[in-house]
Structure 1
């Protein structure tokens, strides 16, 4: 037997806890679950597994351990539990060292960079009475009432909401909104910390981070897993979104008192953004606060990963057959795992519906962003396919069935490439001296344009793109010219700031209410493969 083959058997024969592993008893003496901690990782276990972990000192084999632990244990059970602990990285393989102090700089995949500024330790615990007041039930009810009042304020200001989301705003307004969202996200994190301290926990790190390339504040509340009462852990998870929604509602209420149209629109934009961010945080389909709350509520560690594994195996069984081991016994978790698998695709589709047109109008820069997003989506799809293939191989599926299913999927994919789908060219329009002109940047697919094609004139807001009018391309030839930047992007800037364009005269059938905004030319249907080529390949050639 080679050294590589013998190593696992050797370190599991007389198992030893991995260096730095801590065993925490329940907060309520004698009741509840125990915790095994190594570095930032917390594993919730029962009393029997915790007792076994206490005996793993590297001097006893499985038979001796079973004898020490009592009649409920056998050598086979000990071996099985030790193997599970080894899979979690809690058994010393002979080369492990105790976790060092976490580095100040940390990369959290996929797009988060954290810089630790403060390790509060016991310092913040001295402020527990203050945080207990901040996170009290009275303050919670007050925040809930404020949130409802803020929603009412946005309903009253529906016209302002439409203008803020559906029309260009000044650059200063966008900068103010960005700063406000960063501050709100930071206070959001402090909301988690306040609730944790109220229940006797202790934040381990406080610092700043780049969260999906946006600066923000973070507070590590991993210590919440030491709270015995699952309801307390749920409150810690939900405190952040509640704080952020309260800030948004306050902005919506204060906007009622502001006279300046631009400032009022910026405050309403921030309010809507805060509410939407809070709702996204509450969705349990991604690893955000809503997921932590759900996992705490059902008290199932690694709920999402295990549910996704069961969902992947259910798909493998449906397509290829075979025998698969379940991670979780409940049926609802399979549906939950399927929803977790599908949600990223839904999120990308929603983002595409909102901003692909804007990014296409941005030329090569915008198309590069879209292409990078698609590459990331393909990476996620490929990773899922690799994991599915590993499940199928382990299930002992017949190769003939695998080949037939893959051939069917390949045929379906090939047929989809030739399905005809609508193809539009993104641009803008400008009305001057009673004439309306379609204007396109150099990167637009002008070769698809022809007289008589329908042009939809739409709003150029950051979020909403309402219908403004309709037109058709006239028979007059195109001419070079210039158009305001605000025609293509939802930014209100000086009229002298323009972009070189090619103009196509329009016959307007429905006069738009705005002098300039976005436009979309309906050029007919194309095979899906040609649409992908014209959109994502041709502009770079």
Structure 2
């Protein structure tokens, strides 16, 4: 019985954009995602209107297309989610992630890494991003165009650069006052004003990306809030930046947010000397946070602005994913006896960069988990939510392991050999975790209750775990940094509940008191303030025990 050859069409949202400048690539747009393609692949995809069979397409398009090559290209398009109906295309398992044979290549992240799940305004982007769209910024971008045009002129950029330098000089000239501001507990009013200011600046930071993109003729599509590696942040979707013809323009879009926030921070630093008291402290803390946040945002190891700028500068889409693939090929796959061609043979530092990109997110996840644990750990069902989050992370880790095993098999390596090496490495790590010891310290607080100094224990702490005579460091903890002010020891006496200033629990200067568990300190202790932070020295413990305590303490309580 004869079968009918399917007539395939591209999805309605899929558009083919021709080069906008000499040497610029063809682009395929699927919603908010962009792919670079060769000219022949672009002609084929543009022709997929559901009216021609593979044989007809090969005949219409001519060289280099044959019916076989058209079918291979259709498999690639289907794998990338560009076709309206891929049932008749055939399986794509085992195919290379690089598309058409002889017709140009479709460059994108490895299959499975970029799938997005969307529900109305909510969108999940693997591996660790949850976005919530707030509004479309079109009207705002139109109003900002005259301002953006003036600021991006040569004269405007010169003024902004001088302003940023002047702000750094102002902070340097006030170094002692700055250190005092960032290392001592702020008032509740200062804490709230700085927190609100930083929150607003992160929003303006994102608007900066969109404004520069609009200046170059493209449009940001969404502005919203997201959880990125468990950390709350704003975002502005500037995917249309891939349509900009020059890489310098894409670099400018990527760096616009950091530029905006450092200019705002510089303005605060220059204004601080004209003020005093809490206002000056607020401005100085705010300025330092803006500068530090800008520096952190320039790190190219995750999808921060620094990565987008680096990717645009070298003009290689999905630079990070390809570098991590090269790192796996140079380590895990080679150890397993397999071989796979490098994705980035032209970049000498790609393997080292890929290794760093794989390790740094672990730090972000650990930090984010600690922050989230502090926020919801004490809420009803908070521990359950945290454990669900840990299970979700474990699920992601299993997916990574499965991908590595698949890559080893595809590269001709031995999974058993990889498992043997992994077990050897696990044994070495186990020895390291059990034999290496580190100082065991517990964060706490101190206060005066009925004229006697006491140690304020963190919520959920087993008071018997702190022995009499344990050294206690009396500290001051500011918005960013802390410093040690004195030392004392834990005195004999049972734990009890007492009302202490809130500043013994969190680094905020306030007269508000809260009930908590306390233990007596040595009677001759001279407290540097009515209340503050402390750190208890509990001796030494193995590195593995320390890590387990760190990861589970917030989850259990």
Q: TM bucket by the smaller chain? A: 0.7 to 0.9
What is the aligned counterpart of 2:486 among 459, 462, 469? 469
Question: 1:234 Cα shift?
Answer: 1.0
* More divergent stretch after superposition (427-436 vs 336-345): 427-436
Is 2:346 the partner of 1:339? no
Give the equivalent residue in structure 2 for 1:51.
43
> CA distance change for structure 1 residues 351 and 152 in 2, over 3 Å: closer, same or farther?
farther
Q: Is the 8 A contact 1:471 1:507 kept in 2?
A: no
Give the equivalent residue in structure 2 for 1:295.
311
What is the aligned counterpart of 1:498 among 499, 514, 518? 514
Distance (whole Å) between structure 1 residues aligned to residue 367 and residue 550 of structure 2: 18
Give the equivalent residue in structure 1 for 2:33.
41
What is the aligned counterpart of 2:424 among 408, 411, 419? 408
Question: 1:155 Cα shift?
Answer: 1.5
Q: Is the 8 A contact 1:125 1:202 kept in 2?
A: no
Distance (whole Å) between structure 2 residues aligned to residue 298 and residue 396 of structure 1: 31
Q: Is the 8 A contact 1:438 1:506 kept in 2?
A: no
> CA distance change for structure 1 residues 185 and 211 in 2, over 3 Å: closer, same or farther?
farther
Question: 1:389 Cα shift?
Answer: 2.3
Question: The residue matched to 1:492 in structure 2 has which SS?
Answer: coil
What is the aligned counterpart of 1:483 among 478, 497, 500? 500
Give the equivalent residue in structure 2 for 1:525.
540
Question: 1:332 Cα shift?
Answer: 2.3
Give the equivalent residue in structure 2 for 1:386.
402
Is 2:164 the partner of 1:147? yes
Question: 1:184 Cα shift?
Answer: 1.4
> CA distance change for structure 1 residues 459 and 375 in 2, over 3 Å: closer, same or farther?
farther
Distance (whole Å) between structure 1 residues aligned to residue 450 and residue 130 of structure 2: 50
What is the aligned counterpart of 2:11 among 18, 34, 42? 18
Question: Could you state the TM-score of these two structures normalised by the residue count of structure 2?
Answer: 0.81
Q: Is the 8 A contact 1:423 1:526 kept in 2?
A: yes
Q: Is the 8 A contact 1:429 1:516 kept in 2?
A: yes
Q: Is the 8 A contact 1:310 1:326 kept in 2?
A: yes
Give the equivalent residue in structure 1 for 2:333.
317
Matches for 1:105-116 after TM superposition, within 5 Å:
105-109=121-125, 110-116=128-134
Give the equivalent residue in structure 2 for 1:99.
none
Distance (whole Å) between structure 2 residues aligned to residue 144 and residue 373 of structure 1: 43
Question: 1:502 Cα shift?
Answer: 2.2
Distance (whole Å) between structure 1 residues aligned to residue 62 and residue 236 of structure 2: 43
Structure 2, unpaired ranges of 5+? 89-117
Question: 1:15 Cα shift?
Answer: 4.6
Question: 1:507 Cα shift?
Answer: 6.6
Distance (whole Å) between structure 2 residues aligned to residue 227 and residue 491 of structure 1: 47
* More divergent stretch after superposition (215-224 vs 467-476): 215-224
Q: Is the 8 A contact 2:141 2:210 kept in 1?
A: no
Give the equivalent residue in structure 2 for 1:190.
207
Paired positions, count:
518
Is 2:275 the partner of 1:258? yes
Structure 1, unpaired ranges of 5+? 1-5, 97-101
Give the equivalent residue in structure 1 for 2:250.
233
Question: The residue matched to 1:244 in structure 2 has which SS?
Answer: helix
Distance (whole Å) between structure 2 residues aligned to residue 184 and residue 57 of structure 1: 46
Q: Deviations over 1:178-205 (max 9, x none)?
A: 2212221222222222222222222334
Distance (whole Å) between structure 2 residues aligned to residue 258 and residue 376 of structure 1: 48
Q: Deviations over 1:303-339 (max 9, x none)?
A: 2222222222322124322123433333422222211
Question: The residue matched to 1:418 in structure 2 has which SS?
Answer: helix
What is the aligned counterpart of 2:138 among 117, 120, 130? 120
Question: 1:228 Cα shift?
Answer: 0.6
Alignment RMSD (CA, Å): 3.7
Distance (whole Å) between structure 2 residues aligned to residue 104 and residue 360 of structure 1: 30
Question: The residue matched to 1:256 in structure 2 has which SS?
Answer: helix
Give the equivalent residue in structure 1 for 2:98.
none
Q: Is the 8 A contact 1:425 1:521 kept in 2?
A: yes
Give the equivalent residue in structure 2 for 1:85.
77
Question: 1:58 Cα shift?
Answer: 4.3
Question: 1:276 Cα shift?
Answer: 1.7
Question: The residue matched to 2:461 in structure 1 has which SS?
Answer: coil
* More divergent stretch after superposition (368-377 vs 145-154): 368-377
> CA distance change for structure 1 residues 62 and 94 in 2, over 3 Å: closer, same or farther?
closer
* More divergent stretch after superposition (269-278 vs 61-70): 61-70
Matches for 1:326-365 after TM superposition, within 5 Å:
326-330=342-346, 331-347=348-364
Question: 1:258 Cα shift?
Answer: 0.8
What is the aligned counterpart of 1:201 among 194, 218, 222? 218
Distance (whole Å) between structure 2 residues aligned to residue 498 and residue 415 of structure 1: 44
Q: Is the 8 A contact 1:428 1:516 kept in 2?
A: yes
Q: Deviations over 1:423-462 (max 9, x none)?
A: 2232222357986433324622332333333222222223
Q: Is the 8 A contact 2:124 2:130 kept in 1?
A: yes
Question: Could you state the TM-score of these two structures normalised by the residue count of structure 1?
Answer: 0.83
Give the equivalent residue in structure 1 for 2:91.
none
